[in-house]
Amino acid sequence: MRSYKAQLLGVEVEVLEFDEGVETVERASKASGAPPDAIVKTLLVKAGGDYVVVLARGNVRVDMEALSRALGAPATMAKAREVREVLGVEPGAVTPLSERVKALRVVADPGILEHEYVLAGGGAVNRLIRVRTADLVNALRPTFLEVFR
């Protein structure tokens, strides 16, 4: 693994590059040594005719029924093709700190606030970013919802 500092959306992050893929929570946890609850998944959801980004701890699942109620429209996970079209990267490579994510409504798991720093996707399947949680929240201004289990 190699690491270096970078700026994404004006936020200082530590980029971690691995020789293997870290596109799943299990792989990211194993490669980085971070517990799954300190890894943030960046998920694309379609609700009605709109796309919404969901930030969730790696050890929880999105309760799609609760999310649908909270958003006021039936919510479904976006297909891989939609992730590529809307966010411009492959599924498993999505980083929350991108202009495309920032342009969408962002919903977050309040549990991410339990960590001073979290790991998230880094824009490639072999890359993670380590970011101060407060900086991530300030950059994306998510709505925190209790729609996780």
59 in any annotated domain? yes
Number of domains composing the chain: 1
Q: How far apart are CA 39 and CA 32, in angstroms?
A: 10
Total Cβ atoms within 10 A of residue 74: 13
For residue 66, what pLDDT is reported?
A: 98
Tell me which residue range forms the domain holding 87.
Answer: 2-144
Tell me the three state secondary structure of residue 26.
helix
11 in any annotated domain? yes
Q: What CATH number is associated with residue 49? A: 3.90.960.10
149 in any annotated domain? no
- The mean pLDDT value of the chain amounts to 97
pLDDT 10s digits, 62-116: 999 999 999 999 999 999 999 999 999 999 999 999 999 999 999 999 999 999 9
Total Cβ atoms within 10 A of residue 63: 16
128 in any annotated domain? yes
